[in-house]
Structure 1
Amino acid sequence: HNSRLFDDRKIIKAAKDAIADYQKAQPFKAKYNELTWSHPPIIFIRFEEDMCQVSIDCSGERLDKRGHKIFTAKAPMRESLGAALIRFINSNEEKGYTLLDPMAGSGTILSEYLFQDQVNSKRHYNFENFPLFRKQAAQKVNILNDEIQRKALANDIDRDNIKAIKENLEGFDLEVTHGDFFKMEELSENNLVIVCNLPYGKRIKTQKNIHEFVNDFYAKAQKLGAKSAYAVMPETFIIDKKFKAMRSQRINNGGIWVQFVKVSYN
């Protein structure tokens, strides 16, 4: 701002050359190469008239960033939407329920269900690499860990999705099956909740009418012995009045207005 230096390319080159010259004269310590960076550190050079300020962003990856999965599937759900759905379910169900996603895709909803108690201390951030971070003092902070053992079931008709689910959720108490949801047999779970990000009839098509498909989903969930079923669907979808449906607030999912719809069978 109001600086006589205005050519970004020359300024960036001068800064890079200076860092390279400094590194030749005083090489980085060996342990530098052992550090883990969640995000490349960014150097900022700001000019205000004849004053120059050089700073480094040591924050790294955003603290609010979600997601643990490595493999994805067609028309995946955003992790933030999956987390909101799990919060919605938790607010309407008693603790200790078993969650089944019969059209799990790459496992986004189940991932948010199983990972929801994982604290940020299990993730790594760039500021931990800097000398100013008092690591020992930070380790003395007691974190209340109210982690609950959760059980989940995953099913999908696509074998590639099954492989992705197993890779993304390795190490969790997760039973994975392959098959058509509408041909599944009744489950023996006492406290079963079924959840699904239904096809919207856009990127993923259905052979039957989409409204009929939705109602068949809720009917099948009841036959499987679920106490309740939740689905993500566009707000235009029609649900038969025989089902006691409770809807969440409308949510914009990639340009499509959707809702979480709960149907209870008790």
Structure 2
Amino acid sequence: MASETVFRLFAVSQPGIEEITCSELNNLGIEGKVVPGGVEFKGGLRELYLSNLWLRTANRILVRVASFKVRSFSGLVRRVSKYPWEIYFPVSRKVKIRVTCKKSRLYHSSAVAERVWKGIHRRLRHKLEHAKFEDEGTSIIVKIENDFCTISVNSSGASLHKRGYRVVETEAPIRETLASAMIIASGWDRKTPLIDPFCGSGTIPIEAALIGANIPPGFRRSFAFMDWKNFNSTLWNQLLRDAEKEISEYPPIYGFDISEKAIVAALKNADAAGVNVSFKVASFPVSGLPPLAFVVTNPPYGKRIKVNSEKVYREFGNWLNTAFSGFRVAFLAPSARLASVTGIKCKKVTAFSNGGIRVNLYCNR
């Protein structure tokens, strides 16, 4: 029996949360190496499928198909044509190519893309169509730096943050991958009640419900690798069955927001996700909560939603210190000064971009 192909894989994650993505891989029994922008790892089809199915903080899983030195367009076409593109494109389909060039003789991205197309078509017996958007089909990522070319194929298709449950959005929603990163970074034990007092359309509570019940984020979506020539449906279905056996009861999760419109949206999104979360219209001080809790939230800080941010953060801190006999908290703030207004003894865990705004993640663990 021929040995299984070992792929060089790359989990793309937002700068600032790569370590969290690596910890997720480790929990799947996969060893990874953190680099800027993601995590490098190796594996066969099983690892490829598991990472797409289970990673909550990654944006996509890339397969490193080709790596070589190149200094001419003719050399680029020749080298590209030698790789087994028929695995990833067994039939004609729409494909998006993204190219970046840095410190190399080949610096014109459009010309590089044209030669990559030519090399792939030289190998295939059919033609591929140009896609306008990545979500139309498999995307190819070409990077040439210091005359070294790396070509990757996106195995995920649509970005992994698209779980399929966000049917209604409100103003300034946090991305699903970042919400999961906050929950994981908080150290939540999946048993203690989790509360989001600024829940908006419900992303943090819904992600917490998926984590708490051990439901894979990719359980209800399709992936680009399903159209590949080497797709193993037997293995994939077995991994789904294994995951389904591990689903547990939902821990107590609460979401509050002052906006009735936001709570309506949160309820619809939770229903689409198939999870059990308690959502309620409320403002500070929220009462009737358990004395011990994890609080994970993204307070409004006056960048995209106009509010008195200092007042919001001060009231938030006062509420935590008076409503609970014990609490663990993870929250976002764009500055250390605003975080200090809460009066909570916390430390900066990491920083990342949220909707184009640089924010810090603070925890009191």
Q: How does 1:1-266 map to 2 (within 5 A)?
A: 41-42=93-94, 46-48=117-119, 51=122, 53=124, 54=126, 59=155, 61-62=157-158, 64-67=160-163, 68-89=165-186, 91=187, 93-116=188-211, 117-119=214-216, 120-128=218-226, 133-141=231-239, 143=242, 146-148=246-248, 149-170=250-271, 171-180=274-283, 182-187=284-289, 189-206=290-307, 208=308, 210-225=309-324, 227-236=327-336, 237-240=338-341, 242-263=343-364
Distance in 1 (alpha carbons) for counterparts of 2:93 and 2:315: 51
| TM-score after normalising by structure 2 | 0.52
Cα distance, 1:166 vs structure 2: 0.5
Cα distance, 1:161 vs structure 2: 0.7
Cα distance, 1:146 vs structure 2: 4.3
Distance in 2 (alpha carbons) for counterparts of 1:192 and 1:118: 22
Q: CA offsets, 1:55-103, max 9 Å, x none?
A: 66665624734443111111111222111101111x3x43411111111
Cα distance, 1:252 vs structure 2: 2.4
Cα distance, 1:196 vs structure 2: 1.8
Name the structure with the higher strand share.
2
Distance in 1 (alpha carbons) for counterparts of 2:312 and 2:224: 47
Distance in 2 (alpha carbons) for counterparts of 1:234 and 1:154: 22
| TM-score after normalising by structure 1 | 0.69
Partner residue of 1:21?
none
State how many pairs are aligned.
221
Distance in 2 (alpha carbons) for counterparts of 1:140 and 1:198: 41
**Contact kept in structure 2, 1:153 and 1:174, CA below 8 Å:** yes
- Alignment gaps of 5+ in structure 1: 3-39
- The one-letter code sitting in structure 1 at the alignment partner of 2:193 is T
- The one-letter code sitting in structure 1 at the alignment partner of 2:195 is L
Tell me the percent identity.
20
**Contact kept in structure 1, 2:347 and 2:363, CA below 8 Å:** yes
- Indicate how the Cα distance of structure 1 residues 146 and 52 shifts in structure 2: closer, same or farther if over 3 A, else same: closer
**Contact kept in structure 1, 2:317 and 2:342, CA below 8 Å:** no
The structure whose Rg is larger is 1
**Contact kept in structure 1, 2:205 and 2:277, CA below 8 Å:** no
RMSD of aligned residue pairs (Cα, Å): 3.3
Matched residue SS, 2:295: strand
- Alignment gaps of 5+ in structure 2: 1-72, 75-91, 97-115, 129-136, 139-154
**Contact kept in structure 1, 2:316 and 2:342, CA below 8 Å:** no
